[in-house]
Amino acid sequence: MEKKILICDDHKIFREGLRALLEKQPGVKVVGGARDGLEAVKLARELSPDIVIMDISMPGLNGIEAARKLAKVKKSARVIALSMHNDRKYVTEIIKAGARAYLLKDSAFEELMDAIKAVSCGRFFLSAGITNIVLDDYIKGPSRDPRSAFTLLSAREREVLQLLAEGLRTKEISQKLALSVKTVETHRKKIMEKLGIGSIAGLTRYAVKEGLITL
Amino acid sequence: MEKKILICDDHKIFREGLRALLEKQPGVKVVGGARDGLEAVKLARELSPDIVIMDISMPGLNGIEAARKLAKVKKSARVIALSMHNDRKYVTEIIKAGARAYLLKDSAFEELMDAIKAVSCGRFFLSAGITNIVLDDYIKGPSRDPRSAFTLLSAREREVLQLLAEGLRTKEISQKLALSVKTVETHRKKIMEKLGIGSIAGLTRYAVKEGLITL
DNA sequence: ACAGGTATCGGGGATTCCCCTAGAAGGCCG
DNA sequence: CGGCCTTCTAGGGGAATCCCCGATACCTGT
């Protein structure tokens, strides 16, 4: 029996490209395409796909919320998350939302086929590099709150992070906080370690995303 | 004679999808794929494609700068910009950089084929909705928007700025661009001088604001 | 030809980064 | 209570960087 597939992505040309690739494969059939989360849920109800390939960033209702809804409304549909972000936040959230696979858009198409086979058999599938994130969270125990700067970092660390992201250099921060330069360095190191970010530029982008500073 | 096409996008699965669609079309042949701007320029020189389909947001060297380089180095290649942004900033800049077409990723594949036909004949092609933006700027005459990254900085400086904001350290940049560490330092110094920004964090925020990188 | 901007490098000292180690204080759990 | 973890603090030492100089070469427009 052919697997029915629903493709959800807000870029039409991407949907068409993926459809073209899938149509060359035996055993699968693309039954529809959705351009946002709401349409994804609607079409999933109408078409009863076996597999839903779900982009995460979509306007209106994003892929994570859409997956959450599908888990309630259409349990039979196996969701494969497909995203350009390898951000831990997205990964953990959509997996918790019921997705059975997480692929990066940078993956080869072959990996997508592997994922389709895996979830069809009831197994999970994670892109290389994603596994680390999930296992990392797993061994750290059930962290129910989302991994934000406020749960991950200590108050002092957030303080240092903000100053770093605002552009102060190590010496200035040490003066401002009445600390040794070495202490500030240690804080920076711990922050980078916790967040898995290895540069000031990366920390700045993170701080903006988390709302610690404004552009 | 078949048109040789080079696909530039940082997502492998997107490149594969597009290739699958194009391979079903007569008269065109995909000769290669690049995952960033530098590779795009390199492959364009090696493969001499007739058409370069260029995504705008790519790591390292973005599509706008890549188009600018191609306009100097490989005049024969017609660039089709393919982006998810319908932001006027991107449109005007890449058109000025020499692109002959601008398509949204939300476009249908058919539109891409129309664009390929158009630029092959030496015509321009703009996605619906994009035309307004260009004409709008056109009738308003040369609207020198002051103080943007595109008017203040040189191409090389923008290139270095993007890499800095992406979190690469000086040495990595020098290796990527095949330059001396000292040269990269000088560029950074000039960038900071021109922009009046004195830290990597500040440069990162600036690059995000200007759309050189995404969060 | 000349001025100006751009792009490319170097010297050298101050500074920071990055790897270690480590003590004091507070909380948590068997 | 006695370990154990986390946090905050700080230092040593070498590599890498930042930051001030200067310098050469190449365009481009006047």
Q: Which domains does chain B have, with CATH numbers?
A: 3-139 (3.40.50.2300), 149-209 (1.10.10.10)
What is the pLDDT, as a whole number, of residue B92?
78
Predicted local distance difference test score (pLDDT) of residue A140 = 46
Strand pairing report for A28-34 and A78-83: unpaired
* Interface residue B108 vs chain A (CB under 8 A): yes
Q: Are A166 and A214 in contact, with CB atoms under 8 Å apart?
A: no
Query: Are A187 and A153 a contacting pair, CB within 8 Å?
Result: no
The mean pLDDT of chain B is: 86
Whether residue B13 and residue A82 make contact (CB cut-off 8 A), yes or no, is yes
Optimal mutation site among B5, B9, B13, interface A, most CBs of chain A within 10 A? B13
**Residues B165 and B212: beta-carbon distance below 8 Å:** yes
Residue A25 has a pLDDT of 94
| Partners of residue B196 in chain A, C-beta under 8 Å | none
Residue B8, pLDDT > 90, answer yes
Residue A92's pLDDT is: 76
pLDDT digits (tens, 9 = 90+) for B154-190: 888 888 888 999 999 888 889 888 888 899 988 898 8
The Cα B165–Cα B173 span in angstroms is 11
Burial class (CB in 10 A: 0-12, 13-18, 19+), A102: buried
Strand C reaches within 7 A of the B180 CB? yes
Top-confidence range, A53-57, A62-66, A88-92: A53-57
pLDDT at position B137 is 59
Q: Which residue has the higher pLDDT, B140 or A110?
A: A110
Q: Is the pLDDT of residue B19 over 90?
A: yes
Q: Is the pLDDT of residue B136 over 70?
A: no
More confident residue, B126 or A49: A49
Is the pLDDT confidence value at B61 over 90?
no
Name which of B50, B48, B66 is nearest B9 in CA terms: B66
The answer to whether A108 and B20 have CB atoms below 8 angstroms apart is no
Q: Which residue has the higher pLDDT, A59 or A150?
A: A59
